[in-house]
Chains A and B, each alone.
Chain A
């Protein structure tokens, strides 16, 4: 098929694989669905033959009638089925009518059956399989992939792009087969009727095809551009509505309106510019089919007059077939479009299926009976992107049950360090050891089951509270869930809700306060009683006024666990067994709070910035003393 327009779809990254390779791969993919596909093509062929026979029979009836009335003998009886001369003419007509009706019935049944097969092929066989495959793979991909891909396009890959891939089977492959076969059948049928007429009538056919391809090639990119303009407008609109407070606060209404109108105007102009072309396409195609009819009428008419062609089974049937034939030809442009779309989709789907799963369990993982929680970083180096070292020579070890605070500016590598512990990424060099074993020799599931993680912003799923807490262990008993919630100081607010633990959270738990969400996240993290707990700046997105709510939860959660916490708060830093200060991916200071305060450096500077000024401090402690004395007095 050379009709594949090799235009670049503006929304797709430049193809990394050639179209031909992709088509080959799609063919290989399609091979597994061959039996049902062949069945579909075969049924379609049967339907086609039935349709032609009833068309032929109609023509036959017309001829038979005019023969009987005009006492001529033009009828060509198919398969030598000539009725005997004595048969009453109306009986013949009745028989033909009955056969047409019977064929119609069979055809309807076949049509139903065929459409159901196509649907089953598409929705059950292909899409179901492919979707599950893409989804499964998606979940195993490294965060690196998610970081560089917008979430909207990710969703599309599982929904829209998968559909585009299956189009390759039902809209391209099966279509082509049906098209080729039906064109051949039509052609043979017409040639058998009259060779000359067939050739003359089909003279315009190549033109039909060329014109369809031309319009499709011109219009499709134009519509894509128009689509882009519209997307841009909607994005702009959404932004204004989201930022309405800023718009109003800065008096930007007029400015934004002008901007919106300009974008709207651009859409209008672009579209008005292609409408004349768009509405030229179908008239031209219509005209071409009519040219065929004109030829048929004049040349075919002459043939009928000369007696070389019967009126009904010749001319009328020819007209019917010619329409079908033109339809199939115009369809070629549609198939070319489908190829284009399915290639675009396939590229994106295969990108996911081909992405390497960076982190995988080893074949024969070492099994640790019970994690003690001893962790050692051994001269570790790490980078997200080549040539861009994020962590350099990280070397330290933590005893079971210790609490380690990680401090440092944004971009110093805190989050990277944390994300290496549950093996979200593998280090470039060096290693992390749990209880003396390299992380890469352990089973991934086992590692993650022994680590509880609380992220900066914790995603909660739209499910019940109980199921959210039991996320890592769906079979956990209600007692266990409640125990975790109690430790995380969440039990009280949960039971105060309408349905308690069975309350269904709205999307991402938006009805909960930040502190409540975070406490649920803590409960979720400790449900499995992990030996290791990771807390990535858990108070970051919370109002300072409500911060104390979760500090207590943290306090209880870390008890008896090796804990890593990214923190800025003085109180947290103070109570840690070890503070690691990162700067530019390196450990620049390490020790207890008191030790670090005793030496000059980044740590002391940062802490000083937070410190309460002496005057306020004096006042506060005066208050404190006074309160203490009155309380003592009361005893």
Chain B
């Protein structure tokens, strides 16, 4: 509908033009963000929310976020009111000039009238500038505060929250939800207020001008109302279906790209193309479905306003011609200008309603996140600790993520300062949980965990983690350079310190062999480095942190044997003089441990040194035989 999009009537201008550049991009990105399967839940929810209607409580709460900017906000309300008067006034002024001086042939009156119109127009445009600008600024500030609040809140959440919650749904809080909210504040709230005001203003003017003609509009209102309601429901339904279909398309393409090796390796190209063609044909059906609704809706509205013109021509004409009524012809002219103001906001108000609903839904989800309290936080009486000797004791310790399903049952063991403890067992036996408790990612549900004789509950979390170095199985790296990643072990460390840490684990040559040495840029999740190189970075990071307690979750993926030998040596250096806990996959690590704990279903089933356990010929010996395959 090319001609429609740019109708430069006052209402069309309001708020829509400035965002046009951005909107195409945003819409695109939003659709990408919606790709996540997780969002299906959100969409389900949105459906429910839409049925429930406008939630005033959430709106009020959202409104409270504008408090720090209340001067701007209150000014905005004033500007909205002023504009709702100005827009009809402009149309009215044209009518006045035409009916007055022009009809009367009063030349100076024409010039004065035109000048007056010009002045009014100037003031109106200035008002509009500030109306737009303040709405944009207000929306951006609120969104800024909200992003910070969400992030800070997330940082306070303990690890258990992240185990429960899907990554995608956390991310969509800050992408699609906040984006919907931003559009809600910047483009919907104030624009729709102006548009409503403009309709109201135009209506009032028409009513006072000529109530007979105004009755025509009143008579048309129910029809307009029903058309609008019927179609806005159908359109939002059709666009939701379209969106779902689109996420099927993107998901399929994503799979095809990720699985390209398999596709080509199994000669499946033809078949996949056929399936995809069916899928996009189906998708174009949804596109057409939406298009059909819009293609009926918009012309129908246009038909309405044309019918109105026809009606005022006939009724106004009758009024002007019959001496009994004596209606001025000029009223027709004024109505001609005012009618447009009354009708043009209607289609966009429907669209605005949909955006407002998704803004409210987004706000609700954000508030729900902000309202989720952390499962636990430090006892206010907890104290900070300094450097540790490194004695660790698990005393009758129990742990459960959910009550009734214990993950650890009655764990007892002691690790002396500087000892190495190896944890062995199948996936799910509780090895990682022991490590997570040590880092105080979770609190024990029963019994005690003592570090240098003090219960972890009484130790301030950050001070404890300062003393603990962690090398995780996934060896997560942040995007940035190798140097920056190592430096994360000790914020503020100098370049020399970073290099010294690498030198101490004797891996300087390995780092320098990377594409750009220390300045090698790591992208998404460590792409760009091999598995072995990533481990070197993690080791160096832990070395720089110089912790008293070291925790290692060995990577399962096999590094080739030569590299592995190098890493082994680095690891030994790293572990020297520290109490170390190792979830062991490498035979050599276990062999050197002071104490091997064999876990099974949350219990320690065997304990002792490597050789002792082999002599026992129990579970451990069996596992070891599988490793060694003799």
Contact = CB atoms under 8 A, between A and B. Distances in A.
**Binding site secondary structure of chain A:** helix
A411 B14 CA distance: 60
A104 interface: yes
B625 interface: yes
Interface string B93-132: 0100110011101110011011101100110111011111
Contacts of B591: 613, 616
A31 to B, nearest CB: 21
Interface in A115-138: 115-116, 119-120, 122-124, 127-128, 131-132, 135-136, 138
B128 A286 contact: yes
Nearest to A145: B260
A275 B465 contact: no
17 contacts: A96-B313, A108-B299, A108-B300, A109-B299, A115-B298, A151-B254, A246-B470, A257-B152, A261-B148, A264-B147, A279-B18, A316-B336, A409-B563, A472-B267, A542-B556, A569-B629, A620-B614
Contacts of A615: 611
Interface in B213-259: 246, 249-251, 253-259
A562 B306 CA distance: 79
Contact of B310 (A101, A219, A223, A235): A101
B107 A305 contact: yes
Interface stretch (B44-52, B167-175, B368-376): B167-175
Given A311-B102, A524-B266, A602-B562, 5 more contacts: A61-B313, A101-B310, A216-B21, A275-B137, A620-B621
Contact of B303 (A90, A104, A281, A285): A104
Nearest to B464: A251
Given A68-B321, A94-B314, A119-B291, A245 B8 contact: no
B211 interface: no
B509 interface: no
Nearest to A443: B267
A44 B2 contact: yes
Contacts of A98: 310
B459 to A, nearest CB: 13
A278 interface: yes
B496 interface: no
Contacts of A48: 3
A65 B560 contact: no
B144 A624 contact: no
Contacts of A474: 271
Interface string A241-279: 111111111111101110011001101100110011011
A185 interface: no
Interface stretch (B273-281, B354-362, B388-396, B400-408): B273-281
Given A97-B310, A282-B128, A155 B257 contact: yes
A101 B317 contact: no
A316 B329 CA distance: 13
Contacts of A251: 462, 465-466
Interface stretch (A22-30, A74-82, A456-464): A456-464
A165 to B, nearest CB: 14
A239 B8 contact: no
Contact of A58 (B336, B479, B524): B336
A326 interface: yes
A32 interface: no
B90 to A, nearest CB: 8
Contact of A244 (B94, B159, B284, B318): B159
Contacts of A613: 591
B412 interface: no
B12 to A, nearest CB: 8
Given A115-B298, A297-B94, A256 B171 contact: no
B136 A278 contact: yes
Interface stretch (B22-30, B54-62, B194-202, B448-456): B22-30
B302 A107 contact: yes
Contacts of A271: 136, 140
A305 B427 contact: no
Top 6 A-B pairs, shortest CB-CB distance: A104-B306, A93-B317, A119-B291, A472-B266, A279-B132, A97-B314
Contact of B329 (A65, A234, A246, A621): A65
B155 interface: yes
Interface in B288-303: 288, 291-292, 294-296, 298-300, 302-303
A365 interface: no
Nearest to A300: B102
B291 A93 contact: no
A229 interface: no
A408 B560 contact: yes
Interface stretch (A329-337, A379-387, A482-490, A587-595): A329-337
Contact of B333 (A290, A312, A458): A312
A447 to B, nearest CB: 8
Interface in A140-164: 140, 143, 146, 151-152, 154-156, 158-160
Contact of A159 (B111, B118, B253): B253
B264 interface: yes
Contacts of B174: 234, 237
A410 B321 contact: no
Contacts of A184: none
B516 interface: no
A68 B489 CA distance: 92
Contacts of A223: 21-22, 25
B197 to A, nearest CB: 17
Interface string B579-616: 00000010100010000000000000000001100110
B171 A238 contact: yes
A407 to B, nearest CB: 8
Given A54-B306, A301-B97, A461-B259, A609 B564 contact: yes
B565 A294 contact: no
B377 interface: no
A621 B630 contact: yes
A250 B465 contact: yes
A571 B565 CA distance: 19
A287 interface: yes
A609 B336 CA distance: 92
Interface string A434-456: 00000000001100110101010
Nearest to B121: A290
B154 interface: yes
Contacts of B21: 216, 219-220, 223, 337
Interface stretch (A199-207, A493-501, A533-541): A533-541
A543 interface: yes
Contact of B125 (A255, A284, A540): A284
A323 B8 contact: yes
Interface in B18-40: 18, 20-22, 24-26, 28-29, 31-32, 37
B129 A283 contact: yes
Nearest to A448: B267
Nearest to B110: A301
Nearest to A255: B491
B532 interface: yes
B13 A297 contact: no
Contacts of A267: 144
A202 B444 CA distance: 79
Contacts of B296: 112
A623 interface: yes
Contact of B299 (A112, A231, A537): A112
Contacts of A66: 103, 329
A281 B22 CA distance: 14
Contact of A151 (B31, B140, B152, B258): B258
Interface centre among B126, B151, B276 (most CB of A within 10 A): B151
A289 interface: yes
A315 B332 CA distance: 13
A570 interface: yes
A362 interface: no
Contacts of B426: 545-546
Contact of A135 (B256, B267, B314): B256
